[in-house]
Amino acid sequence: MSEGYLELGPIRPPSEAHSLLIRATRNCPWNRCQFCHTYKGEKFELRPVAEIKKDIATVKLIQDKIKEVSWQSGYGGDVKEAAAMVLSSPDNVAFHNIALWLSAGGESAFLQDANTLIMRTPDLVEVIKFLKETLPTINRITSYARSKTAAKKTLEELKKLHQAGLSRLHIGLESGYDPLLQYMDKGVTAAEHIKGGRNIVASGISLCEYVLLGLGGKLMWREHALETARVLNKIGPDFIRVRTLTINNRMPLYDEIENGDFIRANDEEILEEEKLLIEHLECHSNFVSDHVTNLLQEIEGKLPGDKERMLAAINRFQALSPEERTNFKVGRRAGIYYELDDLYDSHKHEVAEQIIHRLSQGGSEVDEETIYTLMERFI
């Protein structure tokens, strides 16, 4: 069932797993962050509006084809059922994305790549309107953006985008601590994070800010936590999403670690950093931990009401014996555990013990390097 060619970018936020992916620009216009490898070596390009529209029209063709399959398979034109059926044997990655999107109801779209807001506002408005006209089941359109770009757009422009149908922007805040932002070559200051974030909130577009736990390493973790909380309090985003620093040799930060300039924090230190961050958050945001890299994914809730419950999860981990903390860290990083309660699953606990035994060659201690390696297998 080959139907046209669709261009796809490499990533989307975890929360957009079932969104239709439309590539509005290629790669990242900044591309210098030390902890990011996603677009390294790739050149940023704006795609012509006509080309983006052609992709959207191709999605419509594939959607119609899936409808045909639905009739032929006895689903009476129900796209959702037919899409679920073809999901098991999609023609290509783009087809898989469309089938996944349709099987989830076909309501959400995500515009790739790293900073869609850099498009001229009239062009982006045109793309969003065309997307909604061509695929009318879509009622939610989201994208990535940089704070710096959001700070440069006028409130009027952002409001126009919201009125056209842009529902949410995902921004990589990473940190609110200026020396750390500079060290990581994030290309944005805390003040620009605040201005960009507040612009978006004022426009009515929902805002999700991503914080990178562990980014301060062993030396700047405290300032990272405190300044990030300060910046987030000033923005008041709808969502704060945390993920944990992972390293690979395609990131410039890898060399800084190798030459000893950046010293990574371990899981327990990062948890202490997260505790300090949460303690100082005073905004009314949803705090989300839905990333596999986070040690405790159960640290989630609506601030400020759930703050104590979230901190209690951290306290609960910290109150475990050293042996049980190691068991959990290894079990979690090996993909056996999801949450602290899994420690009480005797089978899982035993599997984690066996892994510890193997990794420590008969001992009970597993070093930090080994735990990092286990975690980074998932990335």
| Contact window for ligand SF4 (CB under 6 A) among 26-34, 84-92, 240-248, 257-265 | 26-34
Give the contact letters, 30-49, x = binds to ligand SF4 (CB under 6 A), - = no.
xxxx--x-xx----------
Closest CA to 25 of 123, 122, 150, 172: 123
Q: How many CB atoms lie within 10 A of CB 260?
A: 7
What ranges in 144-220 are assigned the alpha helix state H?
147-152, 155-164, 178-183, 190-203
Question: Looking only at residues 77 through 116 of this chain, which bind ligand SF4 when binding is defined by CB under 6 A?
Answer: 114
Q: Judged by CB, which is closer to ligand SF4: 112, or 297?
A: 112
CB of residue 144 vs ligand SF4: minimum separation in angstroms? 7
Closest CA to 313 of 298, 301, 328: 298
Out of 9, 106, 172, 217, name the contact with ligand SF4 by CB under 6 A.
172
CB of residue 61 vs ligand SF4: minimum separation in angstroms? 31
| Contact window for ligand SF4 (CB under 6 A) among 27-35, 230-238, 302-310, 346-354 | 27-35
Distance from the Cα of residue 180 to its chain's centroid: 20
Q: Judged by CB, which is closer to ligand SF4: 160, or 186?
A: 186
Cα 108 to Cα 377: distance, rounded to the nearest angstrom: 30
Q: Judged by CB, which is closer to ligand SF4: 247, or 313?
A: 247
The beta strands (E) that lie in 30-104 are given as 45-46
Give the contact letters, 123-152, x = binds to ligand SF4 (CB under 6 A), - = no.
-----------------------x------
3-state SS assignment for residue 261: coil
- Per rule CB under 6 A, count of chain residues that contact ligand SF4: 11
Question: Looking only at residues 212 through 241 of this chain, which bind ligand SF4 when binding is defined by CB under 6 A?
Answer: none
**In Å, how far are 175, 197, 200, 336 from 208, measured between CA atoms?**
14, 9, 10, 29
By the 8 A CB rule, do 294 and 14 touch?
no
Does position 208 interact with ligand SF4 (CB under 6 A)? The reply is: no
CB of residue 114 vs ligand SF4: minimum separation in angstroms? 4
Q: Count how many residues are written for the chain.
A: 379
HSE (side-chain half, CA atoms, 13 Å) at 155: 7
**Residues interacting with ligand SF4, by CB under 6 A?**
28, 30-33, 36, 38-39, 114, 146, 172
